Amino acid sequence: MSAIYDLILILDPAAADGQRAKVRADAEAAITAGGELVGVHDWGRRVLAYEIDHKTEGEYHLIQFRGPAALLETLQRSLSVTDGIIRFRIIKLAPGTPEPVEMEAAPAVSPVAAVPEEAVAEAVAADAVAEEAVAEAVVADDAAAAEAPAEPAPAA
């Protein structure tokens, strides 16, 4: 029994629906031609953790499969030159790895818009209090240093 691999595809949501479907279908066809398809999980459109090629969101897909090294090389080569893919990664799963969690498509929300205004106001207030405490500590340290007697220079 060969190892199980995860293929994570992040597709460009700006690409045509047909192109995104073709990329997935081609990847699945290559896997079934050279290996065994174990599972397909569509995670939907999500905000990226960081911007990639000026894109802030992507359509996520997880494809699990078994196959030989030649299949991995074929997938690596074909996916790296295919248009419509923002990023992909093939990962060999360790034995005993649990099944993937079924994820629902998350609403595409800007990370900044998701933070309530009250939380921002509290963070700003806490930051101001911390700055004030640091300033008081510096003043107290300077005062203590001014009161301390100067040490005599060591004799040469």
> Above 70 in pLDDT, residue 150?
no
Q: For position 123, what pLDDT does the model report?
A: 73
| pTM given for the model | 0.62
In DSSP terms, 55 is beta-bridged to: 52
- Cα–Cα dist 156/154, whole Å: 6
Q: Hey, what are 36's tokens?
A: 């065994």
Host domain of residue 14: 4-92
Question: Does 106 fall in a domain?
Answer: no
Mean pLDDT within 103-132: 66
**DSSP string covering 37-51, please?**
EEEEEEEEEEEEEEE
Q: How many domains does the chain have?
A: 2
Question: Does 32 fall in a domain?
Answer: yes
> Above 90 in pLDDT, residue 7?
yes
CA distances from 39 to 6, 25, 52, 63 (A): 9, 13, 27, 6
For residues 11 and 83, state if they share a domain: yes
Question: Does 12 fall in a domain?
Answer: yes
Higher pLDDT, 1 or 97: 97
For residues 119 and 63, state if they share a domain: no
In this prediction, what percent of the chain has a pLDDT beyond 90?
Answer: 47
Q: For position 31, what pLDDT does the model report?
A: 92
> Above 70 in pLDDT, residue 112?
no
Beta-carbon contacts of 13 under 8 Å, excluding residues fewer than 6 positions away, are: 20, 45, 57, 58, 59
Q: For position 13, what pLDDT does the model report?
A: 92
User: What CATH number should be reported for the domain holding residue 75?
Assistant: 3.30.70.60
For residues 49 and 88, state if they share a domain: yes
For residues 14 and 70, state if they share a domain: yes
Question: Does 14 fall in a domain?
Answer: yes
Question: Does 126 fall in a domain?
Answer: yes
For residues 78 and 119, state if they share a domain: no
> Above 70 in pLDDT, residue 109?
no
Q: What value does the mean pLDDT of the chain take?
A: 82
